[in-house]
Chains A and B, each alone.
Chain A
Amino acid sequence: MQIWVIQTLNSLSLGGLLFMLSSGFALIFGLMRIANLTHGALFMLGAYVAATVVRAGYGLALAALAAAVAIAIVGGLIERLILRRLTGNPQGQVLATLGLSFVAADFCLMVWGGDPIPINTPAMFRTPLQLLGLSFPTYRLFVLAVSIVSAAALYLLIERTRLGAMIRAGVDDMQMARAVGIPASRLFTTVFCLGAGLAGLGGAIGGPIFNAYPGLDGEMLPLALIVVILGGVGSLVGTFVASFVIGFVYTFGIALAPDLAYVILFLPMVVVIAFRPTGLFGRAIT
């Protein structure tokens, strides 16, 4: 029983982290038609920034804030300095982000070295929660809570604010949105910062679970891609559902059949693609 509780919580926290990673990816893709392949590297960079701040003696809360802000700025710079030059060339943009992901990964290796840097779980989350004779790892619950809060905040932002209305208008019809005076340029940069910041926050919060290590980007990017493909591009609800589906499939896959975890990951994707090429909740990818 205990093992199932742990695995379920692991699945839920991985799902939450995947949501933070893929919702930013999906937002950027939905609005700007850019498949941002640096997203995995931004997640890893977030984990490294958080590890550095924690090692300097500050708490995880500050580390997470620092990571989110720093990665948001990096994202904004990428958008302004590089992707902006390639407007109207989606293939060029994707290749540029691919190139940047190599640069970022090698940069992390250069600065932080090849050994994994552990991030200590904050003291208040170290003792597991005892309930009904079972123990629940507190930090996993905390990660789940953070991801649900950020999902709710994102939902409110998109559905209830002026910025969100502009984003929705841009996703639906960019030309029309420009025509009615929506400042597309500023909107793009804002959304890119937001998406990158979410990835950085996810990396920081996920830090105590994964540690910061080279290769974390390659571990996370495919999961995020599969989530976005499964959930359907441009659908926040789809991304949310798919994140938790993949969280469960991957965690239980590793626990029950470690050799086959990646093959098992493959199956839901193939099934969904076969019957609903646009993903669970999405529309056609063009």
Chain B
Amino acid sequence: MTQRAWLPPLVLLLCLAVFPLFAGEYFVNLGSQVLVAAVFASSLNLLVGYAGLTSLGHASFLGLSAYISAWLAVRMGLGHAVTAPAALLLTTLIGMAFGWIALRATGLGFLMLTLALSQIVWGVGFRWVSLTNGDNGLSGLTRPQPFGWNLEISNNYFWFSLIVAGLSVFLMSRFVDSPFGASLRGTRDQPRRMSALGFNVWAIRWVAFVVSSFFAAVAGLLYVYFHKYIHPSVMSISVSAEALLSVIAGGSGTIAGPLLGALLVVVMKNYASAYIERWNMLLGFVFVFIVIFMPNGVVPGLRHWTRHWRKDSP
């Protein structure tokens, strides 16, 4: 870390903070969606980039958190002060259980287990109609009003999301820069050596899984507040895949990568669906293209480039 490392994030935050003052409502709402996707992709990045565990089931945590808070509000009539912490807590608990199951394997086995688990959660969302209202989803939700701040206004919601997203990304960057983060990267690169050094590789991975599911739950709350509606498709594999694409396209194992990737994917999705119906086909082709031609993502590529540039001009 260089001394001025705090400067670019601060400039970015300030630029984003004044963004709603200049942009129209459509773009402000688009910006809020980018922020939700950025938190979600960053949480997945903890697993994919820093733990070296490719999960294909991350949407289940976003969906579970959104569903739990929506269900408690609609069916139990509870207020946001209860539903939000309850959703975070329950989702993290489920993350503990899922992590315990999925981390029975690593590599492709882990990927298949996370996919199978999330498809089951998705199936429950669709089929357990008496609990989740099935294909109709849960509607009639409200946004919270922290300290009387009216989040129904698009600009306010953008600022609220910016605060939550900024805080989440800051906490995640502290997490990966901590000694624990170093040991996590160690288990990614040299699991056997870490084990020989006395680290409990399994436990380190499990903690990363749980932390990752917690931040996915945060993204789930932001998601359900934004849409004020929840449908089982939010837990589908294509949502997990979009987040994974954001991470990989931006550059896994970097803090900025998933943020940039989320921006690219959300903007591409919005513009593509305005012109063509075939978003899923485009998503699929982009996936194949990125994997074959840009396996390291945009941010590491840029970093490589700037390093060259700095070397040339001392």
Residues from chain B with a CB closer than 8 A to the CB of A103 are 280-281, 284-285, 288
Whether B56 sits at the interface, judged by CB under 8 Å, is yes
Please judge, given known A-B contacts A86-B292, A229-B116, whether A105 and B280 are in contact too, CB under 8 Å: yes
Residues from chain A with a CB closer than 8 A to the CB of B117 are 266
Closest chain B CB from A222 CB (angstroms): 4
**A222 & B288 in contact (Cβ 8 Å cutoff):** no
User: How many A-B residue contacts, CB cutoff 8 Å?
Assistant: 127
Stretch at the interface among A51-59, A92-100, A165-173, A175-183: A92-100
Residues from chain B with a CB closer than 8 A to the CB of A228 are 112
Whether B101 sits at the interface, judged by CB under 8 Å, is yes
Closest chain A CB from B195 CB (angstroms): 15
Which residue, of B108, B124, B283, has the highest number of chain A Cβ atoms within 10 A?
A: B108
Residues from chain B with a CB closer than 8 A to the CB of A107 are 281
**B107 & A285 in contact (Cβ 8 Å cutoff):** yes
Count of chain B residues with Cβ under 8 Å from any Cβ of A? 42
Give which listed residue, B106, B112, B130, B241, contacts A229 with CB less than 8 A: B112
Whether B128 sits at the interface, judged by CB under 8 Å, is yes
Please judge, given known A-B contacts A218-B237, A222-B116, A233-B109, whether A260 and B283 are in contact too, CB under 8 Å: no
Closest chain A CB from B298 CB (angstroms): 16
**B278 & A110 in contact (Cβ 8 Å cutoff):** yes
**A99 & B288 in contact (Cβ 8 Å cutoff):** yes
Whether A270 sits at the interface, judged by CB under 8 Å, is yes
Whether A157 sits at the interface, judged by CB under 8 Å, is no
State the CA gap A68–B284 with chains docked (Å): 24
**A96 & B288 in contact (Cβ 8 Å cutoff):** yes
Residues from chain B with a CB closer than 8 A to the CB of A35 are 108, 111-112
Whether B291 sits at the interface, judged by CB under 8 Å, is yes
Residues from chain A with a CB closer than 8 A to the CB of B112 are 35, 225, 228-229, 285
Count of chain A residues with Cβ under 8 Å from any Cβ of B? 48
Closest chain A CB from B288 CB (angstroms): 4
Using a CB-CB cutoff of 8 Å, which residues 223-254 of chain B contact chain A? 236-238, 241, 244, 248
**B120 & A262 in contact (Cβ 8 Å cutoff):** yes
Residues from chain B with a CB closer than 8 A to the CB of A273 are 101, 104, 113
Whether A277 sits at the interface, judged by CB under 8 Å, is yes
Give which listed residue, B101, B127, B129, B284, contacts A101 with CB less than 8 A: B284
Contact with B along A127-146 (1 / 0, CB 8 A): 00000000000000000000
Please judge, given known A-B contacts A96-B291, A263-B124, whether A222 and B119 are in contact too, CB under 8 Å: yes
Whether A126 sits at the interface, judged by CB under 8 Å, is no
A: which residues have CB within 8 A of B? 29, 33, 35, 37, 82, 85-86, 89-92, 94-96, 98-107, 110, 218, 221-222, 225-226, 228-229, 233, 258-263, 265-266, 269-270, 273-274, 277, 285-286
B: which residues have CB within 8 A of A? 54, 56, 101, 104-109, 111-113, 115-117, 119-120, 123-124, 127-131, 236-238, 241, 244, 248, 278, 280-281, 283-288, 291-292, 295
